[in-house]
Amino acid sequence: MKKITFYCSIFILFSIAVTSCSVNKNFNYFKTLYRDTTINSFTLKNEESKIQKKDILGINISSLNAEMDATFNTSSKVTTGLSGTNPNSNLNPGFLVNENGEINIHHLGYIKVEGLTLIGLKQKLERDLLPYFKEPIVSIQYLNKKITLMGEFNTPHVLTLNDDNITLTDAIVNCGELKDNANTKDILIIRDSGYHKIVKHVNLEDHSIFSSQWFYLKPNDIVYVKKDLKLIDKQERRQQLQTTVSLLASVLSVGIVIINLLIKN
């Protein structure tokens, strides 16, 4: 009987050890970077996207004539998305690219901007506005560009872009990192090429992402992080095992107590 009690006690201690085991997090970024190294052909920032119809551009001018600057910068149209203007809108002032690919800008009237990059338009405006402003410096940004981040982010949301591009890692950090059950080996990036959607699967655990053209996201990309179903299944099976072992340990504990009471009596 003492041997039975001894073995049961060993089983109970083992059960406690098993049930107290914690589940490790499922991922680490860039697992393939296992030593100090240099990554060749690090991808440069993607070629700038081109201005399209219905884009909203924030344009600001700074020159040696402060009064002229103030007149221009405070009289931009206030847009309400794509449908028109509304002076009571809370959105940032900007210039809407119309169906003809043009914006109506002070002093210059309607000018064609569709197909230009932001840098290209900046250079054009600085050149064309030179007769009206003294040494003008033009800054331009998108006001309606966004990236949609959905799935297993801690705080999924729509990220507004002022710049032309953002890295995938920066976008993830902006969402408070990924959940523990995120599948970092198969992240979907959905990109609008104008006439069709391009879907790319990227592996965030492989450092080759740094040299991928998909490392820099583009305006209006959708990033979808799926659940790691294999990990979830493994966690559920482990939890079931822990529950079963705990139940058996409890039954054995009660059995030992009952046996000891019977022996004493």
Q: Answer yes or no: is 219 within a domain.
A: yes
Residue type, 52: Q
Average the pLDDT over 235-252 and give the result: 75
CATH of the domain at 162: 3.10.560.10
Q: Which residue has the higher pLDDT, 159 or 245?
A: 159
Structure tokens at 22: 């914690």
CATH of the domain at 102: 3.30.1950.10
Same domain, 62 and 128: yes
Same domain, 196 and 126: no
Q: Answer yes or no: is 29 within a domain.
A: no
Res 89: pLDDT: 41
Closest CA to 245 of 20, 3, 2, 4: 20
Coarse DSSP helix, strand, coil percentages of the chain, rounded to the nearest 5 percent? 30, 25, 40
Alpha-carbon distances, residue 116 vs 44, 102, 166 (angstroms): 20, 11, 20
Same domain, 201 and 253: no
Residues contacting 209, CB < 8 A, separation 6+: 30, 168, 202, 203, 215
Count Cβ neighbours within 10 Å for each residue of 118-150 and write b for 16 or more, e otherwise. Answer: beebbebbbeebeeebeebebebbbbbbebebe
* Residue-number span of the structural domain to which 247 is assigned: 2-24+232-264
Q: Encode pLDDT of 128-151 as tens digits.
A: 999 989 889 999 988 888 899 999
Q: Encode pLDDT of 158-192 as tens digits.
A: 998 866 678 999 999 988 889 888 898 889 999 88
Domain stop point among 107, 142, 177? 142
DSSP secondary structure code for residue 178 in this structure: B
Q: Answer yes or no: is 50 within a domain.
A: no
CA 197 to CA 137: how far, in whole Å?
37
Alpha-carbon distances, residue 131 vs 82, 113, 136, 217 (angstroms): 32, 20, 10, 38
CA 171 to CA 158: how far, in whole Å?
10
Residue type, 119: I
Same domain, 253 and 195: no
Res 219: pLDDT: 83
Q: Encode pLDDT of 30-45 as tens digits.
A: 566 556 555 554 455 5
Same domain, 69 and 124: yes
Res 79: pLDDT: 44
Could you tell me if 219 and 49 are in contact, meaning their C-beta atoms sit under 8 angstroms apart? Answer: yes
Q: Answer yes or no: is 44 within a domain.
A: no
Same domain, 248 and 197: no
Same domain, 63 and 130: yes
Q: Answer yes or no: is 175 within a domain.
A: yes
Q: Answer yes or no: is 200 within a domain.
A: yes
How many structural domains is the chain composed of? 3
From the DSSP assignment, how many helices (H) and strands (E) are in the chain? 5, 12
> What are phi and psi for residue 188, nearest 5 degrees?
-95, 130
Angle formed by the axes of helices 229-264 and 2-19, nearest 10°:
150
Q: Answer yes or no: is 45 within a domain.
A: no
